Structure 1
Amino acid sequence: MKRKFLSLLLIGALSLLLAGCSFKDTMLYLYGGDDFVQSEEADYARCDGANGVSVIFDQNIWSIPTLAQPDTLSMVTGNKLSYTVVLLQKTDAYTDFLAQSGAELEDTTGTVKYDLELTVPNADAKAVRYDCGSYQTLFAQLDYDCGETVYVTAAARTSDYQPIVALLQGVYPTGHAPAELPAADTVVDAVAPEEQQ
């Protein structure tokens, strides 16, 4: 029975590979994931978070935003093999967001810190990245020309943090959208965790 199952598994994997799928696609097919088929064409949408942070995002890459907690907007992309979570927050509780967040991370795990160059429209952006072994963490403080600040906490179970950087190009305080942002075809509402199926 075991030999028969392994044969079927091998045949299924081989057929996917012959169809032009990569090893990653094969693993996603076998173990599940949300990006097995993905459009190459950007499908921009806008979400105005209840916390005063808006974001224009590509729906082919990022899931519908959720309100992780009242003052936080959560963005998620990826699958079981490789995922990324970004939290966008507005608060005045931080005296030094990057230093405080980094200190908390270093207290709990071994990390290597890297400065990160980040450009965000209409904002002075400061960011750091921590290599935490099997994942990376990124903290950013976006001080916008309008006088408001957005704090970013992101974690990625992948070595590629460029999707986070690209996402932050479309983040802004609600009502202060930079002119350079791509046009969003749709507006979506952030979903509270208890409303998710």
Structure 2
Amino acid sequence: MKLLHFFAVILLALSASARASYISFQASTDHIVVGDAFYVDVILEKPFDGLFEGDELLAFGFNLGYDAGVLQLIDSTMGAPWDDDSALFPGIDVAGSAFPGVTDDSGAGLLLARLSFSAVAAGLSQLSLFGDSAANPDLGLLYVSGSDVIDARKDMRIYSVPQPASMWMLALGGLGLLVRRKAAGVR
């Protein structure tokens, strides 16, 4: 019996390591300034690579990490065909399911969720998604054949903009230089 258990663990480890799926991010803009509202699409690329033919993706769940001093999460919406299950799982930031599950019919990436943010301060924040079913069975990617870990990161730089008072000072300084140049040219 122990030998059978050993081979089952080895088979599971080999099937998990053969998966080639990964998370990509597509932001609505590359240049974000303080006060902007923007979104980031969370896309599962190559969702069925390394899996058995006919496998289905049933559900996913992940938690978010980001600098709350730089970014503020406004909302998360599920991509089609996912149902939003986030409210059903306290302690999980984003969760979705589809029954029947999603099958590999297009080869394209799957939109898991759209995360809407507001930029509240200038700086750099790393947006991270993580979910491991070993820690919590409601986290990660849940396939018919098993589960997989979600672990992805994206650096988000938020730029500051000149304040209105600074713009007035800049304009007055430019006007002063112009007046000085004109006065120097008259002599």
Scaled by the length of structure 2, the TM-score of the pair is 0.29
Is the strand fraction higher in 1 or 2? 2
Q: Decide which structure has the larger Cα Rg and report it.
A: 2
Normalization by structure 1: what TM-score? 0.28
